[in-house]
Structure 1
Amino acid sequence: MASPQDSAPSLGKVIVIGGCGFLGHHIVKLLAERHPQTQISVLDLRTNSNRLPSPNVSYHEVDITNYDQIQSLFSQIKPDGVIHTAATHAFIKSKEIMDNVNVGGTKNLLKAAQETGVKAFVYTSSASVVLSPKTELVNADETWPLVTGDAQPEYYTTTKAFAETAVLEANRTPSGFLTCAIRPAGIFGEGDVQLLPPIVHAYWNKQTRFQIGPNENLFDFTYVGNVAHGHLLALQALLHSHKIMPTVPLDTERVDGEVFFITNGQPVYFWDFARAVWHEAGDRLPLNKVWELDPGFAFAIGGILEAAFGLMGRKPKLTRAQARYSTMNKYHSIDKAKRRLGYAPVVDLDEGIRRGVQHILRQAEAEKEKKSQ
């Protein structure tokens, strides 16, 4: 008798751009688990990490800023669907590199997809595309305007917004090419290199006695498995819409040409998340031992550290952006994703924190054993 997995429908041929990265490899893993008959091609600049040992997954080293490489590989594979997660690191200094990879690379992928008959294209955007330093996000939804250019202090975010716009404008050009964008917020989990590791290291460095502000601001953090789940739901929805063409879904049901916030749907007070991470790592410091730093003071210190570390070409542990975001509300509505994608988080916040922190602890223990040998 066939197992439920064996009977799961194949999604045809799917390319995951950036499939060796943090989010990308979780998408590849979930796609292989849920749709084992699907042929998955992973495209990344380097493919020596986060590889999935599966006969249905192939790996290809490609530079998305090189259109000829992309077009050649797309012509060979002839994918039905594309999930594009690749981007530069947010803290890279070169605006030119950000433009070339985040915007130019996305446009290269769109062009190759349009020319080779791709049916569905899902882009990983960012919830921060609607974030400005002056406006807090309180249950923000997809009707909020993009914040770019001079109004957006984070140039990385501007490039993500421009790439998202290009993806949506490409929808139905040609008519059988369907696109959408996913906007995750505060991704963390196994393999995370930006969110959980600095928090755990703060515990190891005995820095859990401090917090910035009174901890009254709600913040969205999203377990990576839920973000991967949202991407697969979007891909399936686009492929279904393609199947029923030329019928066009009602506006209230439409997925193509749309954007979707994906979060855990569990906004928490900012420092409560950090303390939950510290507790999972072993911290038992009582709250009455925590010192509250003035936000203005922390912002000023962040500026001084940025200047000092900038001279050395390094990034400090406290920046002005971190000081600002740790005291502002930043959470989003996922009602649209629930209605149109059928999205609901599959892993809650506590379990996500447990998985992510335990992964870091296992890595640290393995490294310790390696050094002792």
Structure 2
Amino acid sequence: MSSAQAPAPSLGKLLITGGCGFLGHHIVNLVVERHPSTRIHVLDLHTNSNRNPSSIVSYHNGDITDAAALGSLVSRIKPDAIIHTASPHFNAKNDIHYRVNVDGTKNLLKAAQDAGVKAFVYTSSASVILDHKTELVNADETWPLVAGDAQPEYYTTTKAYAETAVLSANRSPANFLTSAIRPAGIFGEGDVQLLPKMVTAFRKNQSKFQVGANDNLFDFTYVKNVAHGHLLAVQALLHTHRMLPTIPLDTEKVDGEAFFITNGQPVYFWDFARAVWHEAGDRLPLSSVWHLGQDFAFLIGGTLEWIFWCLGKTPNLTRQQVKYSTMTKYHSIEKARRRLGYSPIVDLDDGVRRGVQFILEEEKRAQQKKGQ
């Protein structure tokens, strides 16, 4: 093993909330790979899936909206650091988003402060700066948060509120350090929102349609790069903690700061979709692709939403999908490069290949099991 591949120092005791979820279990796996001397505790509502078999990982069933039980668990574990990824599914009801993302995060902050936790890293969202109208062109962390009526998605409003709570808690007390990671368009193995829907669209012969002119750059981020960003933030906060009471220069500061994490490879939206479809087996020539105007597709999406609402279902084309597939939305990762030392470790093409192959292999295993 070369020095560049040698295991990094222990992070001490690390608590990962949502550690059985999509992003969370990738973070667990990366800690096991890089920091094998770390003692990992995973907290999730249900811990029977995406488990890492390593002996350094312990699993705890729990609900972060239960302040008393959460406080008891955190005080018993006494973690050095917490990575907080737990969040409801994007399509959950508004009250659930608020209870988990806002109230649950505040419960976890209080438990961490009471237990003497040193470092707290929160999984926010790149969409916290997205409004109804403004396209995001190389957007950075100086852009203001957008919440409430100006924010298109209630889920993202609650992520913005939670991020604000996390960063406001920095150095309160003085030895409690916090940071937020803002990933954009996460995909990869175990993804339940992006790649599976695209593969399903291909299977339904929908890859022959395109909405808009495909001139909008968009950020998609491979999940292991997001996990990498979280671990860099934890390491930076623990390093800052060791330097206390010294305060870093503003240009080096990680505590109290948010960071966009992407692949650093913005791509035209439909080019990404076609890369996914190609990996899934699509060989349709571009000359056969039907182009739908944005306004026309928006009208169709609205009509389908109304019809399917009457039927109690969700259509394959919605106004939200039209909007996101035609808008420019990409971010700068220069702050993360400078202060965290972040650089993507898996490029976009390799990430797409890994993610789609995972889906195909899962389908193959399911078919084999069904045939037994």
Mark yes or no: TM-score above 0.5.
Answer: yes
| One-letter identity of the residue aligned with 2:67 | Y
Q: 1:59 corresponds to which residue?
A: 59
The residue matched to 2:122 in structure 1 has which SS?
strand
Could you say what secondary structure the match of 2:63 adopts?
Answer: coil
1:205 CA displacement = 1.3
**Structure 1 equivalent of residue 113 of structure 2:** 114
Give percent identity, aligned residues only: 70
- State the partner residue of 1:265: 264
> Which residue matches 1:80?
80
For the residues of structure 1 that align with 2:78 and 2:49, how far apart are their CA atoms?
Answer: 25
Shift of 1:325: 1.1
Distance in 1, Cα, partners of 2:151 & 2:226 = 24
Report the counterpart of residue 123 of structure 1 in structure 2.
122
How far apart, CA to CA, are the structure 2 residues paired with 1:212 and 1:315?
A: 19
In the TM superposition, what is the alpha-carbon distance from 1:371 to its structure 2 partner? 1.6
Aligned to 2:37: 37
Range that drifts further, 149-158 or 330-339:
149-158
Q: Deviations over 1:209-232 (max 9, x none)?
A: 000001000000000000000000
Tell me the amino acid that sits aligned with residue 355 of structure 2: G
Residues 7, 34 of structure 2: 8 Å contact kept: no
Query: C-alpha deviations, 1:6-40, integer Å up to 9, x for none?
Result: 76311100000000000000000001110001000
Say whether the 8 Å CA contact 1:6–1:36 is kept in structure 2. no
Preserved contact between residue 44 and residue 61 of structure 1 (Cα < 8 Å) = yes
Letter in 2 for 1:271: W
Report the TM-score, using the length of structure 1 for normalisation. Answer: 0.97
* Structure 2 letter corresponding to 1:73: L
For 1:1-373, list aligned pairs within 5 A.
8-92=8-92, 94-373=93-372
Q: Name the aligned partner's letter for residue 167 of structure 2.
A: L
**Secondary structure at 2:206 match in 1:** coil
Q: Distance in 1 between matches of 2:312 and 2:62?
A: 28
1:47 is displaced (CA, Å) by 0.4
- In 1, the alpha carbon distance for the partners of 2:224 and 2:357 equals 15
User: What are structure 1's unaligned runs of at least 5 residues?
Assistant: none
Distance, in Å, in 2 between the alignment partners of 1:112 and 1:71 is 5
Q: 1:214 to 1:10 in 2, by over 3 A?
A: same
Give CA-to-partner distance per residue, 1:231-278, whole Å, 9 cap, x none: 000000000000010000000000000000000000000000000001
Alpha carbons 1:302, 1:318 under 8 Å: kept: yes
CA distance in 1, matches of 2:242, 2:213: 52
Q: Distance in 1 between matches of 2:113 and 2:65?
A: 17
Aligned-residue RMSD, C-alpha: 1.4
Alignment TM-score, normalising by the size of structure 2? 0.98
Q: Distance in 1 between matches of 2:53 and 2:15?
A: 16
Deviation (angstroms), 1:370: 1.6
Relative to structure 1, the CA distance from residue 4 to residue 143 in structure 2 (aligned partners, 3 Å threshold; closer, same or farther) is closer
CA deviation profile, 1:34-84 (whole Å, cap 9, x unmatched): 000100000000001000001110000010100011101011100000000
Q: CA deviation at 1:4?
A: 7.8
Runs of 4+ in 1 over 4 A off after TM superposition: 1-7
Deviation at 1:145, TM superposition (A): 0.7
**In 2, are the aligned partners of 1:12 and 1:80 still within 8 Å (CA)?**
yes
Residue ranges of structure 2 left out of the alignment (5+ in a row): none
Structure 2 CA distance for aligned equivalents of residues 308 and 65 of structure 1: 36
Q: Is the 8 A contact 1:168 1:181 kept in 2?
A: yes
Aligned amino acid, residue 272 of structure 1: D
Provide the rounded CA distance (Å) in 2 between the counterparts of 1:41 and 1:56. 8
Paired residue secondary structure (1:181): strand
1:54 is paired with a residue whose SS is coil
Q: Deviations over 1:149-168 (max 9, x none)?
A: 11112100100000000000
Distance 1:109 1:246 in 2: 25
**1:369 Cα shift?**
1.2
| Range with bigger deviation, 72-81 or 293-302 | 293-302
**For the residues of structure 2 that align with 1:13 and 1:257, how far apart are their CA atoms?**
21
Which whole-Å CA distance do the structure 2 matches of 1:203 and 1:233 have between them?
Answer: 36
Number of residue pairs aligned between Structure 1 and Structure 2: 372
Q: Which amino acid aligns with 1:258?
A: E
Instruction: Determine the C-alpha separation between the residues in 2 that align with 1:140 and 1:8.
Output: 32
- 1: distance between equivalents of 2:314 and 2:144? 30
- Per-residue deviation at 1:305? 2.5
**Shift of the alpha carbon at 1:88?**
1.0
CA contact (8 A) 1:120 1:178 kept: yes
Tell me the amino acid that sits aligned with residue 44 of structure 1: D
What letter matches 1:32 in structure 2? V
Distance 1:128 1:4 in 2: 34
SS of the counterpart of 1:138? strand
